[in-house]
Structures are given as C-alpha cells and as structure tokens.
Amino acid sequence: MTRPAAPTLAQVNGITLSYEDSGGAGELVVMVMGTGSPGRVWKANQVPALVRAGYRTVTFDNRGIAPSSECATGFSIDDMVADTAALIEHLDAGPAHVVGTSLGARVTQELALARPDVVRSATMLATYGRPTPMVSAFSAGERALYDQGVELPSDYVAAVTAHLNLSPHTLADDRSARDWLDIIAFSPQRVTPGVRAQLGVHEEEADRLEAYRQITRPSLVVGFADDRTLPEFLAREVADVIPGAEYAVVDKAGHFGYLEQPARVNELLLEFLAKH
C-alpha cells in the first residue's frame, strides 16, 4: 500500500533538502520545480495523476527554498544538478524519470547530460537552452528590485505575475482572471535571501544548446503556446538539438501551463513515461 507523503529532511551534497515521497514500489519519478517555487506546487495536479498511474513520486524544495538550505550566499546551476543527483542516490531507487519546469527543466536537461546514470528519462516543461535579451532583462530586473529594497504593491505584483505566466485565453474570461488574481495574491512568491540566490543562477547563464546534442537519455520537451516568460520557440530549440527528443506544444497555456492545462500535460507525461 502506498504510504502518505510526508516532508523529510535529507542531508545530501553538503546541504539539507526537504522532500516528499509518495512511496510505493513503482518506478521513481523525481520532479524539479522552477525559480522561487516550492516542490508542493506539483501536488495540485501532476503528483495525483502519477501516483494513480502507479509511480513512486518525489517532489522537493530546491536549495534556496526553505526548509531546504537557503544557501543565501549564492550557488550555481551545477550545484542544483548535483543536489538532484544526490537526492536520487539517497532514495536508492534510481535511475529516475526526472521532470522539471522552467529553471527546473534546465536542471533536468543538465542532469541528463552530466549524470545519465541516475536519469531513466527526462521531461522538460517550458524550458530553454540559451538566454535571450528579454529573458535576461526580466531576470536582471527581478534581482534589482530585491537588491534595491523595492517592494511593489501586492495587487500590481499579482497582475504582472498573471500577465507573464498565464495564457490570454485564461485571462480573457473575467471570472477566471479574478480567480487567478486571488490565488496569486493569497499565495505570493516572496523573494527571500534564498530565492534571491536562485535568481542569481540566471546571471551566469550561457548558450547550452550545442552541449545538449550529447544528451542520450529519452527526452520529452513540452512548450506552452502562450508562454510569455519563456516563449515556446525556446523549448522547441532544446527539442531540436537533443537526439531523438519528442516535442509537444500545449495550446491555451502560458508559463504555468501545467496548472492551466493539467489534463493535457498529464496525458503527455504519462504517455511518455509508459514508453520508457
């Protein structure tokens, strides 16, 4: 019988990682969240679908997100990759299907490249392989707001967050837009020193597309058609260079496509995992 998930603290890679494990004897799926968000975000839609399908599913808080070590003095994406590999080894149930979104997708593809021994398959949602002027400008702006002690009005932050991360199709419906604005306002993404350290990862980003030609693990890349934060063409670029990668676009979905269109995202994920 699958035991209920409970937060666990593990000492791995020289830090503390907080994770939740659905348990069970199924194949291991490890899920990597994006910048500033805790691992529990996956539990709204993806974890229940995976558990129902028989997978042992593990979510965790990346370094920078308490109660995992905040590492506020800074860290690199290589550190985050090593954390994920160390967690899989700690679970002693790998290699794992690894699923990531946004920065978590970048971690996933770097993990598949650096540590293919711990990766059974790699799924990247809303991913990218290189910085663009717009992506870099937004990242620099977020860092500057924190560094200069600027606190924007909460209603404005909710509106900007919704505009950048949700599909225009979602926001065109007034009731849906109000619901999302309320959700974002009631669960704000607070920039702590640890989250600021995560934002610092983006400062050193380079074009990694050529390197990804060396990824050998089965890969699924999913782009979200209305993604304003990381436009869909960036995900397509990653799929184009990974040998044999599958690619799919989810319509009427922004950067939070796994929350906006969970049924379609779960369908793509489960179909891919079943083959590998």
Among 32, 34, 74, 33, smallest CA distance to 229 is for: 34
| Catalytic-role residue among 68, 102, 121, 139 | 102
Tokens of 114: 């650096």
Q: Is 255 a catalytic residue?
A: yes
**C-alpha separations of 63 from 33, 71, 244 in Å:** 11, 7, 31
> Bridge partners of 60?
19
Q: Is 78 a catalytic residue?
A: no
**Alpha-carbon distance 28 to 56, whole Å?**
5
Numbers of helices and strands, H then E, in the chain: 11, 8
> Bridge partners of 99?
31, 123
> Bridge partners of 23?
none
Q: Is 227 a catalytic residue?
A: yes
**Alpha-carbon distance 154 to 146, whole Å?**
15
| Catalytic-role residue among 61, 79, 226, 227 | 227
Helix (H, G, I), strand (E, B) or coil at 120: strand
**Alpha-carbon distance 194 to 65, whole Å?**
6
| Catalytic-role residue among 68, 79, 167, 255 | 255
Find where tokens 């990381």 sit. 230
**Alpha-carbon distance 201 to 197, whole Å?**
7
| Residues assigned a catalytic role | 102, 227, 255
